[in-house]
Copies of this chain bind each other. A is one copy, B any other.
Amino acid sequence: MHTYQELQEKVQLGFESHCLPQTPRELYDPMRYLLHLNGKRIRPCLLLMGANLFTNRIDPFIEQSMAMEIFHNFTLMHDDIMDQAPLRRGKPTVHEKWNTPIAILSGDAMLVEAYKLLLKSPEQKIKPILELFNKMATQVCEGQQMDMNFETSGKVTIGEYLYMIELKTAVLLGASLKIGGILADASENNNDHLYEFGKNLGIAFQLQDDLLDVYGDSSKFGKQVGGDILANKKTFLLIRALELSQGPVLEELMAWLTTPVFDPNEKIEAVKEIYNQLNLPEKVQDQITFYHDKAVSHLENIQVEETRKQVLEELIDSLLYRQY
């Protein structure tokens, strides 16, 4: 069994020996740039962990694992255009460093590159893997569209929000693990549990991210703490706050959401104070625990020697109890 760090190194070596063409430079340089911005390689590691549960021979699956990272980075490249994000992992986004047409086209070519790598799977595995991948890719697009719609839609329910993050974030984790299982010849039943494990872990992970955006340690979080509050982003916290608050608290919250002029720190502190009054940190934590427990129960249901599950158990802890 390989540790997360060992798997990260394997993926890293894979990317170092993976040759993209040199020209047209404007198409391939942005891919190289984004793929080397020190991501945590969670998705490719998940694919390899999914495989490693059932087999010790995971080196033949490095390219498929890279496909999941490339797909993830394709979505980042395009999402950053849509969100007009200036920074990604602390560095200029592709559309800022180059321009929007290049970020669109380079992203398109990345999606094709992901398919190229998945096609290197054993022939009888290609169809089930691509069926799963296609479904997931469509869901990720649907999730991103829902997220964009939330920006302008008046009311978003918690149910809609949870479905959005399931699509936008969680199914990619589930699919990465399950593709690993498929490659390692795991049973259908085991693969389904792997998928559900990843999906529920992904939802918990995103809720944790919402929480850290407000309550995280700015020196560790990597993004601006309070960014969601400043952007009026409809996260679990804000949606729940709008549902739970009444009277003057609701009025104060609405005032912060609608005023065009404000001091950023003042707004962050004021909204955070409302969240605290409504006990939202505990409420989000309850939700995280709910999805955490679901994930754990699916992991328990996977029919494989318990000792082989240890790396995934450790991963849950490192993803869900991070302080940044």
Contacts and interface: CB of A to CB of B under 8 A. Distances in A.
Most-contacted residue by chain B among A24, A27, A111, A146 (CB, 10 A): A24
A317 interface: no
Nearest to A21: B142
Nearest to A123: B127
B81 A101 contact: yes
A4 interface: no
A189 to B, nearest CB: 23
A134 interface: yes
Nearest to A74: B108
A89 interface: no
B138 A109 contact: yes
Interface string A60-97: 00000000000000000010011000000000000000
Interface residues of A, number: 36
Interface in A144-170: 144-146, 148-149
A37 interface: no
Contacts of A105: 78, 82, 141, 144-145, 148
A126 interface: yes
A148 B108 contact: no
A104 B131 contact: no
A175 to B, nearest CB: 13
Contacts of A296: none
Interface stretch (A113-121, A178-186, A220-228, A297-305): A113-121
Nearest to A110: B141
Contact of A131 (B111, B119, B127, B131): B119
Interface of A: 21, 24, 26-27, 78, 81-82, 100-102, 104-105, 107-109, 111-113, 115-116, 119, 123, 126-127, 130-131, 134, 137-138, 141-142, 144-146, 148-149
